[in-house]
Chains A and B, each alone.
Chain A
Amino acid sequence: MAARCDRSCVVKQPIAKHPGPSNWSKAVSDAEKIVGYPTSFMSLRCLLSDEFSNVAMHVKKLVGTQHPLLNTARGFVYDSRNNFQMRGLVVLLLSKAAGPSHTSSDALAQDMVSGIYPSQRNLAEITELIHTAFLVHCGVVNLKEWTASDGLLKDMEFGNKMAVLSGDFLLANACTGLAQLNNTKVVELISSAIGDLVQGIYYENSNNTEENNLTTKVDTTAWEEQTFLSHGALLAKSCQAAMELAQHDKKSQRLAYKYGKHLSLGHKLNSDLQPFVKSNVGEQVSFSFSAAPVVFHRHIVGPERWQQQLQQAKTMRNQLDYSKLLAAVKSEKGLSLAVNLCCYHGNRALEAIQAFPSSEARSALENIASAITKF
């Protein structure tokens, strides 16, 4: 009981505003008003179950340890102004923008709430559930790689247990919800998106290891393919499924898919670009080697020069000086390639949404798509 109270307090707390791209935040918060209410899907069904309150109680025990599940949980509460639940929101907006289809019966249209079918709302929730389940599952730690200096192994074992169970719980909830949509095509689409996610994350994980980082070469096409699996497939297929649920034709489905696909790719590029376009003097810069500009840069300069640049960026104590490396990346074409690609995807998303009739929901989707092309 105590856990339930704590949790609801957490949910109701005013959400700390995370510093981030203001264009994006504005586009998202404006859009949330259009679909009826802030998109807090997760709190509705899942968080109120006994099983989840059990988890909330156990997660508390992780406080003070190094387990990544804590960060995921923290982001769950504080990061929601940024890209959290963005997928669900886009699914709702698209559903509203497409409206009722001509082939569906009037009886079905009566169930609509602010222009969205209940099944589409469920789909939006399912999409978020799946996304969150994978965030949680990605927080699982490889115990054999854990060294005593990193913290207690016992804490990690416990954290892993919680991560697996809560991720499974969310995923299982998503599957049940999926089945209740009563549409085999949608089940197949979303199930395949789960498969895509696994493959994409698996690929990313194995590419992120130190040795692979130095040897593998990835061009823009390969990057797009991989990133689509890990960051785009779920949204693209959910958008398509939202059209299928309202019995819209193949053409609308294809457009929705396109919008979802290009939006997620553009969004990923935009967030990868942040450390490179921000000019915060004096602030500590840091970026991932799997960030798009770095990946493209490495492809352009080739492995030998990249090795050289890495060596040159090393300080006396063998630490990486990120600002030096950043300058090296900026001096080549990788950065502009990433910026151009980001704009390309943003524009393709805009293009796809133009085919829908003009409406408040459509302009919100336009705003979101153009926000990702601005820095």
Chain B
Amino acid sequence: SFLTWRLCCEQPLGRRATIVSIKPEFPSEVHNVISRQVTRDSIVILFYCICNTVCFPCRHKYPACSCRKIHSDAKPKDPFTLAQKDLMSLYDDIKKELFVSKEELKSLCDYYFDGKGKAIRPMIVILMARALNIHSNGAGDLLPGQRAVAMISEMIHTASLVHDDVIDGSDKRRGKRTINDLWGERKAILAGDFILSAASMALARIVCVYSLLFLGVEIIFVCDTGEFMQLGSKENESERFKHYLEKTFKKTASLIANSCKAVSILVNADPDVHEIAYQYGRNVGIAFQLVDDVLDFTAGASQLGKPSAADLKLGLATGPVLFACQQFPELHAMIMRRFSSKGDVDRAWQYVVQSDGVEQTNFLARRYCEEAIRHISRLRPSAERDALIALTHMVLARDK
């Protein structure tokens, strides 16, 4: 199967739909073969290397996942409905944490906690916590610390959004004007810093597990450096792809993965279970971001709440462009100059549309979701666990 897979990959202009049928179950020696044969046009091969060494570690040699067979008869509950009750007081709880005496600063800090966000991170954390509690004790009741982790994950995410908008110069977010657009950049940065400090205070106060605390605060660090890495452009194509996946992990997945691990540590002492939680969060997070990158090309401005091809305009080469670059080497120069010449953004966009970059990125996202399902299926069955599985499909199917 390895040979057929390689043949697929070595046809740079061919449709690669056939890849879907190939499972990433290579013996470890194959990795070495692959890495030795990395050529200029073989980003796909490199991807498999990364996947095999990083996200599909060899020590986890499980049979192909059987979860869907067991639970295909009962339709899983919608994750949003299932977590709704636990998330009802989320925004009120957050606002209580943001204790500021000055009225204007308070309204800035509360601005995005208006209940209009998707709250996808707290939802995953809550469902994961309940699924883990059932797995460990047979009872699903949430612990106060787990609730706090859900809240803190949303706070950290929002703080990074506020800073992102300043960095990107965005004037719209979730259909309303951004903080920097309304109050100016200086105040926006301070508001972000304040939310961050409140999150780390909440972390210190509510969660008394040191290891967990460490994880939680490290998230901020990792997220931020993820943003940092957007600045450099890598010369080498395989380096660039590796860098892209790394960035994707840090930007979105690390927060979800570490939060999932955190709720696990709170209820269970088994490191294997922590790993399940972490890997689910990690893989879903990467898939989520990959789909986000695709939507940047496919969704209209009205759907996503921000203008299309925003990443290109910021000089960032995401998955679809990197894949398109294999078919259209002309893109290489544009990536290197970060789409800064006149007409670069439009031309790059055209190349992406003509290539199968979007399909390939979607395919990649699907692989990550399958990986997430494989991990979470090791938990004892529960409505929450199945909702987490259903969520992966929703991540792939979302169009905004």
Binding site for B on A (CB under 8 A): 51, 54-55, 58, 134, 137-138, 140-145, 157, 160-161, 164-165, 167-169, 171-173, 175-176, 178-180, 182, 184-185, 187-188, 191-192, 194-195, 197-199, 201-203, 205-206
Contact = CB atoms under 8 A, between A and B. Distances in A.
Contacts of A58: 231
A164 B189 contact: yes
A143 B104 CA distance: 20
Nearest to B228: A51
A157 B228 CA distance: 16
B228 A187 contact: no
Contact of B228 (A54, A184, A192, A198): A54
Interface in B11-41: none
B186 interface: yes
Contacts of B213: 179, 182, 184, 187
A175 B221 contact: yes
Among B101, B104, B187, B224, the most chain A Cβ lie within 10 Å of the Cβ of B224
Contact of B190 (A168, A191, A198): A198
Contact of B224 (A161, A168, A184, A205): A168
B190 A171 contact: no
Given A169-B224, A172-B224, A187 B169 contact: no
A176 B204 CA distance: 13
B218 interface: yes
B167 A165 contact: yes
Contacts of A172: 220-221, 223-225
8 closest residue pairs by CB, A with B? A194-B197, A187-B204, A142-B184, A179-B217, A172-B221, A188-B204, A172-B224, A191-B201
21 contacts: A140-B166, A160-B185, A164-B166, A167-B189, A168-B224, A175-B200, A176-B217, A187-B213, A188-B201, A191-B204, A194-B193, A194-B197, A195-B198, A195-B201, A198-B105, A201-B190, A202-B105, A202-B187, A205-B186, A205-B187, A205-B190
Nearest to A187: B204
A199 B102 contact: yes
B214 interface: yes
B138 interface: no
Among A185, A198, A199, A206, the most chain B Cβ lie within 10 Å of the Cβ of A198
B139 interface: no
B169 to A, nearest CB: 6
B333 interface: no
Contact of B166 (A160, A176, A179, A206): A160
Given A144-B184, A179-B216, A179-B218, A198 B194 contact: yes
B315 to A, nearest CB: 11
Given A142-B185, A176-B218, A192 B201 contact: yes
B394 interface: no
B205 A175 contact: no
Contacts of A137: 189-190, 193
Among A51, A176, A191, A197, the most chain B Cβ lie within 10 Å of the Cβ of A191
A146 B218 CA distance: 36
Contacts of A160: 166-167, 185
B296 to A, nearest CB: 19
B62 interface: no
B228 A169 contact: yes
Given A51-B229, A205-B186, 16 more contacts: A51-B225, A54-B232, A137-B189, A137-B190, A143-B169, A165-B228, A168-B163, A178-B217, A179-B214, A182-B210, A187-B201, A191-B201, A198-B197, A199-B102, A202-B102, A202-B104
A142 B169 CA distance: 11
A137 B225 CA distance: 16
B102 A164 contact: no
A195 B205 CA distance: 15
Contacts of B290: none
Contacts of A179: 213-214, 216-218
B227 interface: yes
B102 A191 contact: no
Contacts of B204: 184-185, 187-188, 191
Contacts of A173: 221
A197 B229 CA distance: 27
B203 interface: yes
B186 A138 contact: yes
A161 B187 contact: no
Interface in B85-112: 100-102, 104-105
A192 B225 contact: no
A198 B169 contact: no
Contacts of A195: 194, 197-198, 201
A210 to B, nearest CB: 15
Nearest to B215: A179
B301 interface: no
B210 to A, nearest CB: 5
Contact of B217 (A140, A143, A144, A175): A175
B208 interface: yes
A247 B293 CA distance: 50
B196 interface: yes
A171 B227 CA distance: 14
Among B200, B205, B225, the most chain A Cβ lie within 10 Å of the Cβ of B200
B186 A194 contact: no
B3 to A, nearest CB: 38
Contacts of B101: 199
A68 B208 CA distance: 41
A178 B198 CA distance: 14
Among B167, B185, B213, the most chain A Cβ lie within 10 Å of the Cβ of B185
Contacts of A161: 167
Contact of A140 (B169, B185, B208, B229): B185
A216 B229 CA distance: 44
A72 B141 CA distance: 50
A168 B231 contact: no
A171 B187 CA distance: 17
A180 B187 contact: no
A202 B186 CA distance: 9
Nearest to A53: B232
Contacts of B214: 179-180, 182
Contacts of A191: 197-198, 200-201, 204
A164 B163 contact: yes
Nearest to B109: A198
Contacts of B200: 175, 178, 187, 191, 194
Nearest to A193: B197
A51 B227 CA distance: 10
Given A157-B169, A172-B220, A140 B100 contact: no
A165 B217 contact: no
Nearest to A167: B189
B232 A202 contact: no
Contacts of A140: 166, 185-186, 189
A164 B225 CA distance: 12
Among A134, A142, A187, A192, the most chain B Cβ lie within 10 Å of the Cβ of A187
